[in-house]
Structure 1
Amino acid sequence: MTRKPSERVERIGDALDHATDLTVRYLADRAGLSTAAAYAMNRLHREGPARLTTLAAREGVSQPSMTQLVQRLERQGLVVRHEDPEDGRVALVAVSAAGTALLNDRRDVRRARLDEFLDTLPPEEGRALWLAAEVALPILARLIERADACDRDGELLD
């Protein structure tokens, strides 16, 4: 039986849900990349090159699905595979220069759209949101690090 979330968890969850909706529905450039491709590329960009099996596990998809996605991204020139310096039998997947440029362009589009939306707020609300982001960003980064260290069931990975 699942216990009822606390008011604190409900409020934080609502804030994250709203931020996700704003980002995915209104800020993100949805042309050209699937959501799965964007998430995988963002992970590679943030964390660096990874084995395909590791990337599949971290993204919560099957290895065959990730293989197809990586092949599609390779054909588009957005990712590259290169030899793992620790094990020459293994290939690492990395974001290419073109992939990095695309991710940067997509980030710039999100920021420009956000800027337009922020201009519709009263200045004090914009400042309050900025201050909240200053406090929340390092905390969210730590939560992401902890989440990345766990499998999909919340168990710590080796």
Structure 2
Amino acid sequence: MEPEVVTEAFDEVVRLVLRHLTEPGGPTFTAVMCLGRLDREGPARLSALGAAEGVSQPSMSQLVQRLERLGLVARVKDPEDGRAFLIAISDAGRALVAGRLRARHDRLGELLATLSPEDGVALRSAMEVAGPIVRRLIETAAR
């Protein structure tokens, strides 16, 4: 397969997710990604969180302040360094992440229901192959 075919397919998936599966309004895409990371990986230092999300420390600091005001994150003492703080997701933040994930899955389910049975089988088969490969790409990109 030509690399252009794969990159174009990924671009189409990104467009589907960003334009048709995300909820308008509410926290930004970056904020939701940050909350999702905190939910999956646990509390993190501001600098580490910014680096992981590819955001400058000043931008991450502003984002965390907004999320704090919304009650979605809290600063907690770093158990390894009592002078430092970690950013932790709150229960409200977890609820927001879970709600957005449910809404995205519901919307995708609605779209998948519009496929013909043949297209559904083909897509399911393709995803069984592509899913593990995409997960490996995510792990590689995270390093």
Give yes or no for TM over 0.5: yes
Q: What is the rounded CA distance, in whole Å, between the counterparts of 1:43 and 1:147 in structure 2? A: 14
Distance 1:142 1:48, change over 3 A: farther
* Matched ranges for 1:127-146 at <5 A: 127-146=121-140
* Matched ranges for 1:70-85 at <5 A: 70-85=64-79
Deviations 1:69-124 (A, max 9, x none): 00110111111221122222221112111111111111111111111111111012
Question: Which SS does the other structure have where 1:144 is aligned?
Answer: helix
Range 35-44 or range 21-30, more displaced: 35-44
> Out of 109, 118, 125, which is 2:103 matched to?
109
Q: Which residue of 2 aligns with 1:153?
A: none
> Out of 2, 5, 16, which is 1:11 matched to?
5
Identity of aligned residues (%): 54
| Structure 1, unpaired ranges of 5+ | 1-5, 150-158
Q: Which residue of 2 aligns with 1:24?
A: 18
Q: Which amino acid letter does the alignment assign opposite residue 81 of structure 1?
A: R
| Structure 2, unpaired ranges of 5+ | none
Question: Which SS does the other structure have where 2:114 is aligned?
Answer: coil
**Runs of 4+ with >3 A deviation:** none
Give me the TM-score of the superposition, normalised by structure 1.
Answer: 0.84
The number of residue pairs the alignment matches comes to: 143
Q: What is the rounded CA distance, in whole Å, between the counterparts of 1:142 and 1:81 in structure 2? A: 32
> Out of 26, 37, 46, which is 1:52 matched to?
46
Specify which structure has the higher proportion of helix. Answer: 2
Question: Which SS does the other structure have where 1:50 is aligned?
Answer: coil
What is the Cα-based RMSD across aligned positions, in Å? 1.5
